[in-house]
Amino acid sequence: MRLLNKQYILVFCTLFAANIYAQTTNIKGVVKDSNEIALEGATVFIKKLNKGISTDRNGAFEFKNIKNGTYKITVSYVGFESSTKNIIVNDSTITINFILSEQNERLQEVEIIGRKEQSYKNTKSFSGTKSAINLKDLPQSVGYVTKEVVLDQAGYRLNDVVKNISGVNQHSFYNDLVIRGHRVSGQRNSSMMLNGMRIMTSFWKQQLIPHIEKVEVIKGPASALFGNASPGGVINSVTKKPLFTEKKSISSSVGSFNTFRILSDFTGPMDDADKLLYRLNIGYENSDGFRDLQFSKNLVVAPSFSFLPNDNTRLNLDVVYQDSKGRLDRGQAVFGNGDLYSVPVTKSLSAVNDFLNEFNLNVTLSFQHKFTEDLSFNSIYLNSSYDEDLLEHRTANSFAALGDGSFDISKVAMRVFERKRSWNNQNFTNYFNYKYSVGNTKNTLLVGFDYFQQELQAGGSQREARAYLLKNGTATNSFKIANKNNYVLDSDGNPVTNVAHFDLMSPTANGIRDRSNYVYQIRQFPQFLQSSKGIYIQNQTSINDKFDVLLGLRQDYFSDFINYKTEKEKIVEQQSFLPRLGLVYKANKNINIYGTWVRGYQPQSATQVSNPNVGGPFDPLTSELFEVGVKTEWFHRKLSATLALYDLTQRGALLNANDVSNPDRLVQLGKDKSKGIELDVYGKVMPNWSVILNYAYNHAFIVSASDADVLKFGNQKPNAPKHAFNFWSKYTINNGRYKGLGFGLGYDYVSRRLGSIVRDPKLVPIFPSYGLVNTALYYNVGKFQIQLNVNNIFNEIHWVGGYDFLRAFPGQTRNLITTVSYTF
């Protein structure tokens, strides 16, 4: 009887399982364009089930175990018309294919909804004109790096990936870069942006990018649109935004220099009606770095929410929280004979009890409303804060002084900084976009107002222990033999140190420093406030779909508050009027020819304008750009290329006068120029072969100056290579026995560079050219991917930039990192 019962149970379970199996099926298909080219990364969505997936490299997709019923399947892809089909699922596998047609779409005028493209190529830009525009139709060179490049190259910092953009190089290994020969860096309000808004960043630590969708470099003065901006360009990081399709991924990396990273990325709708979307990116890193005593412990948490109550209104909240701990690395010091190879590139001047703790918070609230299909309004607010807590042993910018006026070139004079500062930036911008037609022209009119302020908050101060003791109980950083009697001297007649020299030959020089006996001076950083207001108008005109004309005008008003919130408060006012003109000729479907002219403006810091010690007042820094170029798209828009020729002039840059009697005195250059050619290629040659190629020739030189000593550097500006070339290629096997196996190969070349202009020209180094080979190996199995990246595979010793023989910045030695990723 028991056996019979077991048989009945077995039959019942078998029939039940069969019934369940019969009620589910698979839906699969392929998505292609009208030229039968597979579309990788197209979104396929079943609304009834709130299920979405992306097509693979062959344009294929498959939903498994779908219950019987009637469904609507929608396929969407950036640059193409969406397509929807009704299907009936009834016990058998269904194959349904889609052909998408290209569209002349009107995208949202602000980047609220996330980028859907999944390749090295980026098609659209919002920051170039504050409205959606095809990059090919923008009369200006814009370089970029997408998150796909970042992942394939295992990049984690901005400086890791800017080599993929022509004309962009490192000035140091800080958050400090050169664009077309002009320096851009953190802690300035003219260089770094987040989603098109100015942010406050660290100068010392490179920007982290695990939460970044793409990095854009808007070449040339962007002042006509953004106000105060570096002549070389601005760097705009675009955060990852919510998507309508649910996606989740997590990855973990381990590698050289005790590096450990873990990243996660989650996105999708939060309700059945797709009115509320979310995205959450989290990144953690713990790494020692390749330099002695250096380490980084970084946490990034970046949530983003999009609320779409209707088709005409969108609201987005972006938060980026960063907490970084480490030490400040002032660079490599070498022997005073100028031999860059005389000291290992791993040796730093830090003490083991040094630290640098930084906190950064960016909160962005953006709103868009379409009154009609032709009229929309955008309002964006960004609050950006940065806190710095620093203790460092650093060079006093000279070698160890001896009593006879000579130097011990094996020892470095040292000083100590203890500093705390807090900054806050606030941005507020509002603008209207209006589309209208006049005769045979189509127009987009932009009218806007923005406000920006940067404030150094109360309490900013620094305690400094300088290098040599004076008899009056204080200390100084330099030894002047003419005033020898003012110094405390030892039995040999040498100046007594307040902070002991760093011995470049000592194996224990990085040990704990006893700071209890140092003589300190206190320096207060008075509160200050800088603000600007700008009104701008811009019109983009398309004539017979053959010619595009862009005309922009901007009026800016700048205010600097000296002695802010004191009885001596004083306001320094400056203003500028800035024009912009761009032309595009659409030669054919694949080729656009463009030209642009734009003027830029940067007000000199109010402390420099009003401080008599520096030699002011000074005129503002102005710039002017002439640029022509060609933009093309090939292989059915899978590959893009831009060739640009430019002539960029800057007037009014400030440099140190090398005045021994007044070390604060500055001189203002009459004019400096950069002329060059840039080539950028991004995209796919084949569906499984992605490439990046860029080359830049840049002759950046000083034309005229008010100080003859500066002219000797007229051949080429500091840390601006004349030639730079980068290539990266990834190839994946899509079929056969080795399906899922991929290979990456890259080469990065930078020509020789001068160090920065310093008080003693004899200390200016020439950094040799270098070429680095980087490789990668990938293996993809379903939802898992394993990758190995090996950078600088031949372990070439090189320098990415620097100031002098006491502050050179070596590049990373050979390193590898292994990453395991899971997408679900």
Angle ∠(231,541,227) on CA atoms, nearest 5: 25
Q: Are 813 and 795 a contacting pair, CB within 8 Å?
A: yes
pLDDT tier for residue 21 given thresholds of 50, 70 and 90: very low
Listing DSSP states for 551-601 in one string gives: EEEEEEEEEEEETTTSTT-EEEEEEEEEEEEEEEEE-SSSEEEEEEEEEEE
Query: From CA 374, how far away is CA 376, in angstroms rounded?
Result: 7
- The residues, ordered by sequence, that sit 6+ positions from 495 with a Cβ below 8 Å of its Cβ are 401, 403, 468, 469, 479, 487, 488, 489
Q: Are 385 and 423 a contacting pair, CB within 8 Å?
A: yes
Element (H, E) at 5: helix 2-22
Query: From CA 65, how far away is CA 50, in angstroms rounded?
Result: 14
Listing DSSP states for 484-506 in one string gives: GGGB-B-TTSPBPBSSPPEETT-
Looking at residue 104, its pLDDT comes to: 46
Element (H, E) at 452: strand 441-456
Paired tokens of 655: 């440099």
According to CATH, where is 2.170.130.10 located in the chain? Answer: 124-239
For the chain, the distance separating the N- and C-terminal CA atoms, rounded to the nearest angstrom, is: 48
* Tens digit of each residue's pLDDT (9 = 90 or more) over 497-517: 999 999 999 999 999 999 999
* CATH fourth-level superfamily of 247-823: TonB-dependent receptor, beta-barrel domain (2.40.170.20)
Looking at residue 613, its pLDDT comes to: 60
Query: From CA 256, how far away is CA 395, in angstroms rounded?
Result: 28
Characterize 46-82 residue by residue with b for buried, 16 or more Cβ atoms within 10 angstroms of its Cβ, and e for exposed: beeeeebbbbbbbbebebeebeeeebebbbbbbbbeb
What are the angstrom distances between the C-alpha of 359 and each of 49, 362, 589, 757? Answer: 42, 10, 48, 32
- State the residue for tokens 């309700």: 271
**Mean pLDDT over all residues of the chain?**
88
CATH 2.60.40.10 corresponds to the domain 2-100: yes
- From 74-78, 196-200, 529-533, 769-773, the region with the lowest mean pLDDT: 74-78
Query: From CA 711, how far away is CA 165, in angstroms rounded?
Result: 30
Task: Judge whether residue 762 has pLDDT over 80.
Answer: no
pLDDT tier for residue 618 given thresholds of 50, 70 and 90: confident
pLDDT tier for residue 23 given thresholds of 50, 70 and 90: low
* Tens digit of each residue's pLDDT (9 = 90 or more) over 227-278: 888 899 999 999 999 988 888 999 999 999 999 999 999 999 999 888 999 9
**Taking the CB of residue 706, how many other CB atoms lie within 10 A of it?**
12
Calculate mean pLDDT across residues 128-151: 90
* Tens digit of each residue's pLDDT (9 = 90 or more) over 676-713: 999 999 999 998 999 999 999 999 988 876 555 454 55
CA neighbours closer than 13 Å in the CB half-sphere of residue 468: 29
617 versus 678: which is more confidently predicted? 678
**Taking the CB of residue 625, how many other CB atoms lie within 10 A of it?**
26
Element (H, E) at 683: strand 671-686
Strand pairing class (124-125; 133-134): antiparallel
* Tens digit of each residue's pLDDT (9 = 90 or more) over 366-382: 999 999 989 999 999 99
Calculate mean pLDDT across residues 112-118: 65
According to CATH, where is 2.60.40.10 located in the chain? Answer: 2-100
Query: From CA 766, how far away is CA 751, in angstroms rounded?
Result: 11
CATH 2.170.130.10 corresponds to the domain 124-239: yes
Percent of the chain having pLDDT more than 90?
64
Looking at residue 585, its pLDDT comes to: 97
Looking at residue 55, its pLDDT comes to: 87
Angle ∠(675,723,633) on CA atoms, nearest 5: 80
Looking at residue 422, its pLDDT comes to: 95
